[in-house]
Structure 1
Amino acid sequence: MKITGNAMMHQSLKNLVPMKKDKTEVENNNADPEMRRQLEELQRMVAEEQKYQKRLEADQIAKKIARGESVTHEERQQLQGVDSEKLAKAEQANMQRRALSAQLENATTKEQANAILLTGKASATKMIEKGEKEFGELLLAAIDKAEEDYRKQKKSSQHIIPIDGKLIKVSDPKPQSIDIRL
């Protein structure tokens, strides 16, 4: 039997095993009622811990989908089995991330980009306030990923070149023509 969960639960189950002499004795009606109650409580705790672990894994998979990261067919099926509604919300958040990324690509100034990001984050926060906490959190994860991608893309497209002993930022690494007159 594989035991997952926190260390305290793991240790409790390990300590319980040496106490019982025979499995049939515990299952027997003549077994100590207190011991049987403790065993049932520990089994309930293990079952709850397993459910919690599945929900955590489902949350991680949903966030990967919302951020546009690749997920395996098995991960998608696992999320579908645990919470099909969460899968739909993650896919919707991913679609909104793509739309936001397209808007950011079309932004011509930093101010426009910041306004787009701020609007997206505000709408995600409103979703959380309206009671759509799960979707709002997925949307925030998607927006954060779009912002990260935008910042990386902008940072990589800027180059610093020396001109007349000064370092100058150039957004386009391949200028069409440079006219330097001596």
Structure 2
Amino acid sequence: MELRGFSDGYGIQVASWAVDAKEVALLSGRVEYPFPEELRTNWRRPDSDIHSYLLFDGDRPVGYGEVWLDDEEDEVELARIIVDPELRGRGVGGELVRALLGPALDAGYSEVFLRVRPENAAAIRAYHGSGFVDVPAALMEEWNVGQPVPYRWMRYAGEPEQEQAGLGELRG
């Protein structure tokens, strides 16, 4: 699979992956279903600190995600991650997150974070499997002040332990 920059020509397809109002809200911040018409063709702002990507399997886009750069906080946030509903549960989400870590880490900021709804068990498994851990509860509570919902905040801690162990065995 290959991570590529997002082009607006895929906006309608990615918008169709949001299967209910909750998923539309995660992608757009708007509680509407289906995905708002005006956002389908005007998906991103190329002059912002938000970088949009698609994960491709051959010529087929299978996942979408954003890398938000924050100079003031010296951090990156992975956001608006979604996988084609036909491919969910097959590890594509984990591959997408690991691919997004490339540009996130290359940006040179000190931390990489993401937020997820606590009930999204599949996404949380993918994030754990990609090296993310929960931030301390007090910090999570602080960051949730003013948020539309209480998120589970996670930070990138490096390669997951099982991958580190496997790499050590290969090297040793």
- On whether the aligned pair clears a TM of 0.5, the verdict is no
Structure with the higher fraction of residues in helix conformation = 1
TM-score of the aligned structures, taking structure 1 as reference length: 0.25
TM-score of the aligned structures, taking structure 2 as reference length: 0.26
Structure with the higher fraction of residues in strand conformation = 2
